[in-house]
Structure formats: C-alpha cells, structure tokens
Amino acid sequence: MSKSKVTAPAATHSLPSYLDSGHVGPWGIYLQQVDRVTPYLGSLARWVETLKRPKRILIVDVPIELDNGTIAHYEGYRVQHNLSRGPGKGGVRFHQDVTLSEVMALSAWMSVKNAAVNVPYGGAKGGIRVDPRTLSAGELERLTRRYTSEIGLLIGPSKDIPAPDVNTNGQIMAWMMDTYSMNTGATATGVVTGKPVDIGGSLGRVEATGRGVFTVGVEAAKLTGLNLQGARVAVQGFGNVGGTAGKLFAEAGALVVAVQDHTGSIGNKKGFDVLALSEHVRKTGGVAGFAGGEAIESDAFWGADCDILIPAALEGQITKDNAPLIKAKLVIEGANGPTTPEADDILNDKGVLILPDVIANAGGVTVSYFEWVQDFSSFFWTEDEINARLVRIMQEAFAGIWAVAQEHKVTLRTATFIVACKRILHAREMRGLYP
C-alpha cells in the first residue's frame, strides 16, 4: 500500500535550544525518530509538534548530609513528556552520567512505549546525576527521600507514577512511596510501581521486562523462520532484563554464547550455564571472572557469531562504528535507545531485523500497570495470571505493529512509532486545547 505523506506545518516558534535536534544526544535521536514517522501520520501530523515539546521539565537541587557531616548537592530531574492518554509513567535512574537530554528522551520513549502496548499512561522519566556506589545505605536513603520530596508536586497515583530504572530497585521505590505517603498524610501504594510485594508490589514485576523481550523475540522468530532450538544469543547487560531474557531463551533451547557488561566481555561457543552465570553476577556484581567462559575483547562481543543480539544495558551502545561487526539476524532492544539512527540504517541495510525498545522492553511498564491496578483495587493476582496477561498483551501489540510494518513497508521501529504516535495525537486532538 502506498504511504500517505503529509508534511507537518512549520512550528510557529523555533524550538528552545535544549530541544533542538541539532544538539546530538538522546533527545536529538528521539526527534529524528519523530521526523521519520511524521509522513505516515496523515491529518494528525498537524499536531506533531506536541511530540517534540515535553509538557513539564522539573530540575531540582537534592542536598543531603553525608555520613562525614559534609553537605553534598546533586542535580535531579523529573520530566513529563505527554499526559494526553493518562498519568505520566516512567522510571527513575541514579547514574553519574544522567543528563537532561537523556531524561527528556527517556520520557518521550515512555510515551511511545505506553501507547504502543495501549496501556492508559503518558510518558515521564526521572533521574539523579549520582554514582550510587559512592554512597552508604543511609546516604542513599536520604538522597531518595529528599529527591521524592522535591518532585512531590508532580507525582501522585493519578498524576505521575515513578518506577525502578538503572541503579534503582524495590528498596528505592519503598522509600519513595513512604516519603510521598508521609508528606500527604495517607499511605499511597500506587504512587510508584516496582515496590516489594509486601507493600503493594506485584508478583512477576522484576522479571517482566526480560520476559517481554523474550516474548516478542519468540514471535519474531516464528514470523522469520528462526528456530530457537540451538540458536546462538549474545546479551549485553546481565541484570534483571538481560539475565531474565537470557535465562528464558536458554530454557527454550537457545545457547547464550557471549555476554558483556560494565565489568567486561566473556564468550563460550558451546553456551553458558546461564543459571551459574546469573549467580556469579549476583555475587560479584558483573560477568568478569566467570569460570564458565573466557574473556574476550569488546569488538569480539559485537562481532560474536550469533543469531540474536540483545542489548540490555544503556542507550547509545550500537553505533556506526560497531554496527558493521554485528552478525546477528535479530536484534532485540532490551535497553532504552541502545541503537543510534546511523547504526539503525546500517543494520537495516544488512537485513538485520530490529525489535525496537519501544515494544521489545515494554513488558516492564505493562506489569507496572498491573501493579497500579492491583493497588487501586487492593486485590492481587497470581504470578501465573500476571505472566499470562503480559504475554497476551505483548503478543497482540507485536502482531499489530508487524502488520503496520508490512502495510507501509517500513522498519518495526517506524511501525511502532506510527501506531503509538497516532494514538497519542488522536487523544490530543480529541481532548482539544484548553483554554
């Protein structure tokens, strides 16, 4: 079918400098993605500037007293990209390289991701520029609580719901929930997701993102004729996402032959004992030194002889420099924004099928939605029920996106943006402008 090209009208005013796609970085990459999808939006293209301007950006100072009595200041962010389809939803990351551009892009990708799987959320994201490994447990708690108080005017169970992301976990969410509850005078379990089960968390949440990666991988393998039995898999990042996905692929008969994380890269052509590797990572904090494999160079990881590559670490990992090395037939993006647009083009030209982050790693937010619903109703589901609902939603969302990709003869990334952006902009159009 021929594509209907509609050129979006020029913006009435130029973008602020920090929103300019000319500023290379995560936000610039996101804006390029929006530009690529605009020709497929039909009459909704008149609203496309909505996607290029976050609704709210909050930058906060987070001062805490360190254990040695000195005062330290950290910069924190909470960005609400779009709330047309519901309250903001997105994680909070603690990392020394957090920037406003990154948080803005992540919030926008959350808008797309939530719309792609059709859960009733908008997109948001938060972060603090800090290396949490340098903080004691007490300092980390004080940092979390002060940050929560600083962004308290934006968040709430029906306004904006944070969740774990890089270097944050259930304990961080518990402190955030408690701080918000103390400040509002009532326990509000639904203000965050990814909490421990004993205080309103959901079964299956920790493994949800990795399970979603596996689910769409299975669907793509069926559609492309890739037999998972004996298929070789390379995984970057072996935490909740990469580790869970690797385990599920191994259980399906695949061989995990290469793994990379912040500690190094390892390989084993016969396939790792994934459970033993997971235990090694839990004990040591990384894959380096695992006795069941041998150390390899970074380039050797990207050039691993594999059928499936799962980047499940940070954004910007697959670039124009290492994309030519990749031999995989299928790339499943467990991380947010791991592939640059230049690398995207290189891989597409090579015939590599990319399952983009905005659908591939949406399992986490899908089960976060389940957790939020359970908190509102105070009625909790079994893990089997949660996993079954997750698989059904991911399969249906992927099938719809695959159909759009075939219809317009576009990549799965563009197809996902077509589906999601149309949903977001249709909601914007139906709601209208007020006042």
Work out the angle at residue 233's Cα, subtended by the Cα atoms of residues 232 and 239, and round it to the nearest 5 degrees. Answer: 155
Cα–Cα distance measured from residue 173 to residue 175, given in angstroms and rounded to the nearest whole number: 5
Alpha carbon 162 to chain centroid, angstroms:
13
Give me 95's structure tokens: 């990392």
- Answer yes or no: 320 catalytic: no
Sheet of 71-82: strands edge to edge? 56-65, 71-82, 122-129, 88-95, 160-164
What type of residue is 29? I
Overall residue count recorded for the chain in this entry = 435
Report the DSSP pairing between strands 294-296 and 264-267. antiparallel
Q: Which residue has the tokens 């949490």?
A: 132
Cα–Cα distance measured from residue 195 to residue 209, given in angstroms and rounded to the nearest whole number: 15
Give, for 258, the enclosing helix (H) or strand (E).
strand 255-261
What end-to-end distance do the CA atoms of the chain give, in Å? 39
Residue from 89, 113, 125, 329 carrying the catalytic annotation? 125
Work out the angle at residue 148's Cα, subtended by the Cα atoms of residues 198 and 117, and round it to the nearest 5 degrees. Answer: 65
Active site amino acids: 125
